[in-house]
C-alpha cells in the first residue's frame, strides 16, 4: 500500500498537475496509485521528484493510509 494518492489529494493536485510539477509521467503516477507499480520498487530519482513536488519526505510516500 502507498500513500501517494492521499498525499496528492491533500496537496490539491490532479495527477497531471503532479506530473507537471515532478517530471514523472501521469501514466506512471496512475500506475503507482493503483498499485500496478509497487511504490517500493520505483527509482530513488522518481521518489525524490514526487516527494519534492508534494513537499513531503520520500519515506512518507510508502506509509500506509489509515
Question: Alpha-carbon distance 1 to 20, whole Å?
Answer: 24
- Asked whether 50 and 2 are in contact (CB, 8 A), the reply is no
pTM value? 0.90
Domains of the chain with bracketed CATH: 4-60 (1.10.260.40)
Which residues touch 18 (CB under 8 Å, ≥6 apart)?
8, 11, 24, 26, 29, 50, 53, 54
Q: In the numeric block, which cell numbers belong to residue 1?
A: 500500500
Question: Alpha-carbon distance 34 to 26, whole Å?
Answer: 12
pLDDT reported for residue 43: 95
pLDDT tens for each residue of 10-51: 999 999 999 999 999 999 999 999 999 999 999 999 999 999
Amino acid at each position: 500500500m502507498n500513500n501517494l494518492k492521499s498525499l496528492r489529494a491533500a496537496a490539491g493536485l490532479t495527477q497531471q498537475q503532479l506530473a507537471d510539477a515532478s517530471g514523472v509521467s501521469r501514466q506512471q503516477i496512475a500506475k503507482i496509485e493503483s498499485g500496478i507499480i509497487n511504490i517500493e520498487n520505483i527509482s530513488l530519482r522518481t521518489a525524490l521528484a514526487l516527494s519534492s513536488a508534494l513537499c513531503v519526505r520520500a519515506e512518507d510516500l510508502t506509509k500506509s493510509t489509515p
